[in-house]
Structure 1
Amino acid sequence: MPRYAQLVMGPAGSGKSTYCSTMIQHAEAISRSVQVVNLDPAAEHFDYPVMADIRELIQVDDVMEDDSLKFGPNGGLVFCMEYFANNFDWLEECLGHVEDDYILFDCPGQIELYTHLPVMKQLAEQLQQWEFRVCGVFLVDSQFMVESFKFISGVMAALSAMVALEIPQVNIMTKMDLLNPKAKKEIEKYLDPDMYSMMEDNSTTLRSKKFNKLTKAICGLIDDYSMVRFLPFDRTDEEGINIVLQHIDFSIQYGEDLEFKEPKETEEEPSNTNYDEFFQDKVDY
């Protein structure tokens, strides 16, 4: 049987660890087994158990303190991820060979890992070789998506990850529970956006004459092919969390190979003899 994986991606501060924690709690509530692997070598803490932690292999602090390397935080993280890509056997040993695993991979927040560096692409391909069905889950903070130009930037970041990784991807707006009522109403139009209507935005942010033609082309590309859509994620809304999980499960065909459990046979109810005799008498009459 196949195994299943979510690559939880997104910019720093988009809520990746909170998403993993919420999914773990939701899975426990619906009696599903879900585990987490931490792939952020700069992570400090998280409030859920992990089955594997990249910090046991390499840490950003150790790389930065190495006098021969002299890397800063970003360079150190990229070095850690490239080192990880050369040591996938460590991950294979940690994952084991349990069938029907469902694992969330909590990834780092450096956006270049999902746009032009090959590390995450190599990870996705390696997981597929290990018979994982992989889905990318790209998170964007909803608090920064309430303006048209910021939304388009978020869409392009999600689209870059889709193109680079070449795996099914579900895009999510996180931290919906932190928005005020006015912002929640405003952001509804961005969940299933009409990109052409954004060009008619009354604000001046999309009316630069110099880049107007380019902006129109980008909006047209996204709208014509329906390439990017977002799901809202409110960690206090169990129904909304379940909808997100259903979309992801559908993209990786989770459950199609699960064994069908036949319902228990129920004993036939004893017939009502008096009623049967009465009905038979009526028929004979």
Structure 2
Amino acid sequence: MEASSSESPRIGPNVAQKPSVLVLGMAGSGKTTFVQRLTSYLHTRQTPPYVINLDPAVAKVPYPVNVDIRDTVKYKEVMKEFGMGPNGAIMTCLNLMCTRFDQVIQLINKRANSDTSICLLDTPGQIEAFTWSASGSIITDSLASSHPTVVMYIVDSARATNPTTFMSNMLYACSILYRTKLPFIVVFNKADIVKPTFALKWMKDFERFDEALEENRSSYMNDLSRSLSLVLDEFYCGLKTVCVSSMTGEGFDDVMKAIDESVEAYKNEYVPMYEKVLAEKLKLDEEEKKEKHEKVLHGKELAAPSNLLNLSEKVDKIHIGGVEEENQEDSDIMRA
């Protein structure tokens, strides 16, 4: 215990830790079913995940949970107490969870030496309540700054057959990628209903996507989606994609392979960027401290002459007063 207490606290990500996977996606995309299937898949391999539920509004979780936000914050009580609607209550629950998320990080770090493989975090169905809230940013940054973190964005393949819906999903994925700056995987779910090969072709070949747009009657949406597809061309190039079925278990070998590759990308790309930002922040903090120190010293120097002047005036008055008193005594003696 003494040896461990004498060690200085670690600053920055610990790449030796096992990865955390943050599961995001639009409502109805199958996030919870995906987490359930991935949990089952890892259990069959004798490498169970450490699962965290961050959805306070879910009625029942269909997988074993290690940390559940519902044990800390009561969603319905938040709605009653603060007079909020569903989305406002979800954001408030996440904000309250953030006040104790350092304890969650400690629990995640403790399981590093256990038999668990990864840490899975299931997020609320209302994706905007997590991705665009301060609490979502705090949770994501806290995870990424302590150990390897990967973002998985779940897409409903059945609904993405419409090119405009597909483009909406890709725009949202792009915004999350550039907001988090973390390794990013797009998971086309529900492959048992519709094979998402069409989406992969759209991402690789603009002409295929343009042909699909021609079947859409809205000319304005066609032009907009066509322009956005050209804008996202570079985004598609470095994007990892996986096709899965959460019902049948198809494609989960590819999911684990993509996670392993993303962890390497985290080590090679995110960690150097984080260390650079941290070094710049420490440099700015040092400069700010130095500037404040110089201001304090400069203020003392400005204050010193006036203090000395007042002190010298007091000494002179005392000295002059003493001489005057002595002269008065001499004159009295002479008169006597």
**What's the TM-score bracket when you normalise by the shorter of the two chains?**
0.7 to 0.9
Say if 1:52 and 1:95, in contact at 8 Å, map to a contact too: no
Structure 1 outlier segments of 4+, above 4 Å: 236-239
Question: Aligned residue for 2:279?
Answer: none
Q: Give the 3-state SS of the residue equivalent to 1:42 in structure 2.
A: coil
RMSD over aligned Cα, in angstroms? Answer: 2.4
1:70 partnered with 2:83: yes
1:223 partnered with 2:239: no
Alignment of 1:120-131 (within 5 A): 120-130=136-146
Question: Aligned residue for 1:41?
Answer: 56
Which AA in structure 2 matches 1:246? K
Say if 1:11 and 1:110, in contact at 8 Å, map to a contact too: yes
Which AA in structure 2 matches 1:232? C
Structure 1 residues 11 and 176: alpha-carbon distance in aligned structure 2, compared to 1, 3 A threshold: same
Structure 1: distance between partners of 2:261 and 2:240: 16
User: Shift of the alpha carbon at 1:213?
Assistant: 4.9
Report which of the two structures shows the higher radius of gyration computed on alpha carbons: 2
Structure 1: distance between partners of 2:52 and 2:40: 16
Question: Aligned residue for 2:127?
Answer: 111
Which AA in structure 1 matches 2:253? N
Which AA in structure 2 matches 1:83? L
Q: Give the 3-state SS of the residue equivalent to 2:119 in structure 1.
A: strand
Structure 2: distance between partners of 1:239 and 1:233: 5
Structure 2: distance between partners of 1:236 and 1:79: 32
Question: Aligned residue for 1:260?
Answer: none
Structure 2: distance between partners of 1:116 and 1:200: 34
Which AA in structure 1 matches 2:226? K
The TM-score, its normalising length taken from structure 1, stands at 0.77
Q: Give the 3-state SS of the residue equivalent to 2:236 in structure 1.
A: coil
1:19 partnered with 2:30: no
Over the matched positions of the two proteins, sequence identity in percent amounts to 25
Structure 2: distance between partners of 1:229 and 1:196: 21
Question: Aligned residue for 2:65?
Answer: 50
Question: Aligned residue for 2:200?
Answer: 191
Q: Give the 3-state SS of the residue equivalent to 2:216 in structure 1.
A: coil
Say if 1:196 and 1:220, in contact at 8 Å, map to a contact too: no
Which AA in structure 2 matches 1:118? A
Q: Give the 3-state SS of the residue equivalent to 1:154 in structure 2.
A: helix
CA displacement 1:114-163 (0-9 Å, x = unmatched) = 54323222212211333x20000111111211111111111111112112
Structure 2: distance between partners of 1:141 and 1:242: 19
Structure 1: distance between partners of 2:60 and 2:31: 13
Say if 2:123 and 2:130, in contact at 8 Å, map to a contact too: no
Matched pairs, number: 244
* Structure 1, 2-11 or 100-109: larger mean CA deviation: 100-109
Which of the numbers 17, 21, 24 marks the counterpart of 1:6? Answer: 21
Structure 1 residues 205 and 121: alpha-carbon distance in aligned structure 2, compared to 1, 3 A threshold: farther
User: For structure 1, which runs of at least 5 residues remain unmatched after alignment?
Assistant: 257-285
* Structure 1, 84-93 or 30-39: larger mean CA deviation: 84-93
Structure 1: distance between partners of 2:208 and 2:233: 10
* Structure 1, 43-52 or 71-80: larger mean CA deviation: 43-52
CA displacement 1:80-122 (0-9 Å, x = unmatched) = 1122223213423543523255110011122214543232222
1:166 partnered with 2:181: yes
Question: Aligned residue for 1:87?
Answer: 100
Structure 1: distance between partners of 2:86 and 2:64: 26
Which AA in structure 2 matches 1:159? C
Which of the numbers 20, 24, 29 marks the counterpart of 2:44? Answer: 29
The TM-score, its normalising length taken from structure 2, stands at 0.66
Which AA in structure 1 matches 2:132? H
Which AA in structure 2 matches 1:218? L
Larger helix fraction of residues: 2
Structure 2: distance between partners of 1:35 and 1:155: 29
